[in-house]
Amino acid sequence: MQDIIARNGLETPEPLKAEVKSVPPWLQGTLVRNGPGLFSVGNSEYNHWFDGLSLIHSFTFHNEVTYRSKYLKSETYKSNTKADRIVVSEFGTMVYPDPCKNIFAVPNFTDNNLINIIRYGQDYYASSEVNYINQIDPLTLETVGRANYRNHIALNLATAHPHYDKDGNTFNMGTAIIGLGRPKYIIFKVPANASKDPKKPALRKVQQICSVPFRSTLYPSYFHSFGMTENYIVFVEQPFKLDIVKLATAYFRGVNWGSCLKFDEKDSTFFHVINIKTGKAKSLHYHADALVVFHHINAYEEDDHVVFDIIAYKDSNLYDMFYLHNMTKETDNFIQTNKVFSPPVCQRFVLPLNVQKQDSPKGTNLVTLTDTTAQAVMQDDGSIYCKPDTIFEMELPGINYNFNARKYRYFYGSRLEWSPHPNKQIAKVDIVTKTHVEWRQENCYPSEPVFVASPGAEEEDDVILSSVVSSDPSVSPFLLILNAKTFEEVGRASIPVPVHIDLHGLFI
């Protein structure tokens, strides 16, 4: 694993036919995925796995299966390649472009969008969490050009995990920190018809739904995703925070941006429930113990409650685990170092909506749903303290997206074992029975599982796709197709070139 986690990837720019074993004929489309693929340029190296330059790859199903991969031709990629060394800072790597200049030179901000593929209107973008996104052609993987959120809406950061409603509208959240007026979180929408004029970017049609003020002006919460029900956005304001003063001075102090994130275990976690149509937040003050969350699984409304599921951690050590000096340790050493890290746990929180502060009995559980042990207890000060129902240990969650914002039963994800390395198996979890089935193969590392529904399917489970790489050189990388009901293998498409380990993607 050490050999494949941080090796520089190869481009396969022309479609390469895969060796296919049994692919369902209805499976037509392209799975486009993103992740870090280049960890050194010239003699310079990145410090952190999430710093690697974006390498996009795709698996296209159209009577046969073809594979392609191309580096995202971001300005960051072009600048680094031209200089033959890393000249643009990333989250875990601070660099100073010109050694002749002093450190008070202004840094180029990265547009290395390595996390996910997202859609605004009919346009597809490689995205990370900065103010730039790079449009790509999802068929050829060519980079079309970059867009800057700040030309269309006042924000500095935006998530790489938007939501889509059934009409094709995209909803996302961002943060306005510096130079954009009063600091705040921003919720916005890009309408489905935003790409009517192909010469103009879909982002020009962006609409701000509302803003939410920071609880603490100088320490906004970091967030990687959010939840969406039919009527509400669910935003977790967690005590994993950005230190704005440290961020503003990091470059001059010679430390990386990552060092400006801090988990405050003594603080609380706050839940905001915001009406999508009116932009108004519920006035109830929901809170829970300190936690760290990166990924929401799903959220829905039931009998005047908002139910939402997240992958929660007890601390913020996950980010530290992905420093490359840690990831490339020998197995025994890695286990020793990382065994104290908190595991990712799926937790369900339930927020009662129609609560009258003055009438509600203090100290009693206000959750009336009978299929959960999650609690929401009215406190003396009128706030509501929430305790989760614990479901399963899992990360990189996915669902049948037709069930997004609806009551659902199954989710899929990667089971993270701290030994010897993460992502050794993928699993399907039944939330009702709290049981799971899993797929694994010796020395194989499957990526985040992606659910694809067959045409006309009404049930919640159908097929699962996962890009699998092996540390055994005799096993070619392959695109795995599983029956989503049983988690038994339906087929696989072997790729005759190296494939890199990725993060997230989209089936188009």
Which DSSP state fits 373?
-
Tell me: is residue 57 an annotated ligand-binding position: no
Task: Decide: 289 and 345 in contact? Cβ < 8 Å.
Answer: no
Tell me: is residue 161 an annotated ligand-binding position: yes
Task: Decide: 49 and 93 in contact? Cβ < 8 Å.
Answer: no
Cα angle, residue 295 at apex, residues 293 and 298 outer, rounded to 5°: 115
- DSSP-assigned beta bridge partners for residue 125: 118, 135
Instruction: Tell me the two tokens of residue 208.
Output: 């701000």
Which residues, in sequence order, are CB contacts of 89 under 8 Å at separation 6+? 95, 107, 108, 110, 251, 256, 257
- Residue 60's alpha-carbon distances to 122, 146, 500, in angstroms, are 19, 24, 17
Which DSSP state fits 495?
-
Tell me: is residue 295 an annotated ligand-binding position: yes
Instruction: Tell me the two tokens of residue 328.
Output: 């490339």
Burial (CB count <10 Å: 0-12, 13-18, 19+), residue 372: middle
Q: Residue with structure tokens 């890199």?
A: 500
Spatial distance between the Cα atoms of 276 and 228, rounded to a whole number of angstroms: 9
Rounded (10°) CA dihedral 169, 173, 177, 179: 0
* DSSP codes, 190-250: E-TTTTSSTTS-GGGG-EEEEEEE-SSTT-PBP-S--EE-SSEEEEEE-SEEE-HHHHHHH
- Please state the residue numbers annotated as binding site for Fe cation: 161, 224, 295, 504
